[in-house]
Structure 1
């Protein structure tokens, strides 16, 4: 390993490991995750690149991987090569402007959610009340309206926004470590940009590590 390589750090999101973007053709999820963890291990040993994960994200990822019946080898390598670290929630300063932006965005999204609900209510009002007697057809239409309402409401309130403590833990830890964020989540990417953080799309991260290794003459 070349001497005194500058240390690079990344904070990894669950979506990195789950996205199909990291898979090669005909490759299973387990094979893709093991290959990714091998790259992370080599980058750590050879290039002083370390990868971190908040405990909340780690627990979420472990749950998802267990639901997909991956082998214990995956969890062993995850424990070995991805450092679990809680963010310093009291020590990391968040600019007031970012808080204002978050409040403004959530206020706007609540308004959007109300409009979606109003549209669904108006649509229900257009349904023929005479069909209530037969029941089946009316309920089918009502179910369709309800399903559309859920999809549109979820999109209005949650898509592209920080909607969980796990998301916020990821950003706070990255800011604390001055690390790059690795995720496929559009909401996290948008807020990483506002936090002034470096970020890499999850699907591009394996290639990034491979290019680092190739450029320094290390076999991946």
Structure 2
């Protein structure tokens, strides 16, 4: 079952969609993700610093939004400014999710997205409710956006056959070049120095043997 969206279209006035693109899921960090900041900020409220810690955590959560559409992933952050990041599904290489101590108990966690050619995590849906469900939804959309064997008209077996055919053609071309080089060496009379020395040595040995036989017959 896909995770339930926690945002509606009125909250997504910053989002610009392409033609035919629609929102599948939208959410922001879980309310309980503020708990660590609250626990740390309350004792500091006596010196007013705690109020700033809690306020920053609240504003950060309220201004962070995550969106999954039929075409891509979106992330909006920023309290006094706005930063929008988009990753198309065709670029997604890997996804994973994790939950910390509080996340395991309150049902939220991080969903990390890596892209092909990227270095490390390119986008993180931080502290989202039901991180496993969000990851499964992203994976489903990634698979839906990739062409199937039926759409491309080629199966894995067809691709392997094409690769083997190309390898055979390369092998035949290399062997033909090697044979042509051997014939060229013979026609041009190219002989290695070592071969010449061996031939000369064998000729000298034959000459000495003939001379010895002649000398023996004369005696």
Superposition TM-score, scaled by structure 1 size: 0.25
The structure with the greater share of residues assigned to strand is 2
Which structure would you say has the larger Rg? 2
Superposition TM-score, scaled by structure 2 size: 0.25
The structure with the greater share of residues assigned to helix is 1
Of structures 1 and 2, the one scoring higher in RCO (CA 8 A, sep 6+) is 1
